[in-house]
């Protein structure tokens, strides 16, 4: 086996290992979200403590994956398409870690669905599935704005509702932020597959561009 072939196979192994770590990290965060939902619903303190403790594991994944990406760039000098993947992974793990942080503030099933779909799109490098996540995020934003208006109305009509309404608003904001981070992951998947930066682009424009390709 020539040295070039060996280097190429090692490079592919490094990339596959790093992608697998990203998916493992995402799976851990997904479990955190579900545990946080149950802790919020049942008031189980031990379960809430477990969510907080697992945050250290999520942070460990982030550090390890960042290190692996840096190693690949320095040692392998990847071509443009592979470099896109590595750069996107570095951004994706940041959003996954932040989703894990939001899990400590309670969440909802819709956020789990978005994260799962975004990770699945990354695993399969499926731009169409990633675009579906962007559409879901628009729906979450719409629901969040409606919830804010309703809660403000409750607080104005009856000051006794201010404390519980603020608690609900806090949860709603956590859900909305998790949707934003899942959207960021989906945008990076589209960047990997299409080579197009769709950040700050309307969903309608993204749909038109993807339909034209």
Taking the C-alpha atoms of residue 14 and residue 25, their distance in angstroms, rounded to an integer, is: 17
Q: What is the pLDDT of residue 40?
A: 62
Cα–Cα–Cα angle for 123, 121, 173, nearest 5°? 120
Neighbouring CB atoms inside 10 A of 114's CB total 27
Q: Which domains does the chain have, with CATH numbers?
A: 3-212 (1.20.58.220)
Q: Please name which of 134, 108, 152 lies closest in space to residue 189, comparing C-alpha atoms.
A: 134
Residues composing the chain: 213
Q: What is the pLDDT of residue 180?
A: 87
Q: Is 79 exposed, middle or buried (0-12, 13-18, 19+ CB in 10 A)?
A: exposed
List average pLDDT for each run of 10 residues in the chain, which is 213 residues long: 58 86 87 74 70 81 88 79 82 79 58 84 90 83 78 74 70 79 90 86 77 60
Q: What is the pLDDT of residue 8?
A: 75
pTM listed for this prediction: 0.65
Neighbouring CB atoms inside 10 A of 17's CB total 12
Q: What is the pLDDT of residue 205?
A: 78
Q: What is the pLDDT of residue 152?
A: 80
Q: What is the pLDDT of residue 6?
A: 42
């Amino acid at each position: 086996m020539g040295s070039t072939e060996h280097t190429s196979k090692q490079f592919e192994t490094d990339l596959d290992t790093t992608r697998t770590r990203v998916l493992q990290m995402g799976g851990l965060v997904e479990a955190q979200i579900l545990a946080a939902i149950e802790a919020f619903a049942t008031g189980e303190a031990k379960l809430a403590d477990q969510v907080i403790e697992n945050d250290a594991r999520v942070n460990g994944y982030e550090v390890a994956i960042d290190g692996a990406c840096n190693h690949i760039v320095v040692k392998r000098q990847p071509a443009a398409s592979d470099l896109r993947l590595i750069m996107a992974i570095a951004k994706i793990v940041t959003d996954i870690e932040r989703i894990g942080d939001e899990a400590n503030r309670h969440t909802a099933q819709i956020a789990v669905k978005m994260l799962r779909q975004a990770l699945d799109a990354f695993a399969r490098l499926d731009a169409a599935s990633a675009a579906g996540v962007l559409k879901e995020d628009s729906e979450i934003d719409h629901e969040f704005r409606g919830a804010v208006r309703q809660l403000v109305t409750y607080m104005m009509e009856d000051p006794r509702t201010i404390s519980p309404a603020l608690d609900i608003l806090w949860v709603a904001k956590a859900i909305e932020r998790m949707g934003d981070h899942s959207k960021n992951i989906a945008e990076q998947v589209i960047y990997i597959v299409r080579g197009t930066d769709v950040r700050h682009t309307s969903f309608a424009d993204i749909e038109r561009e993807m339909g034209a390709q």
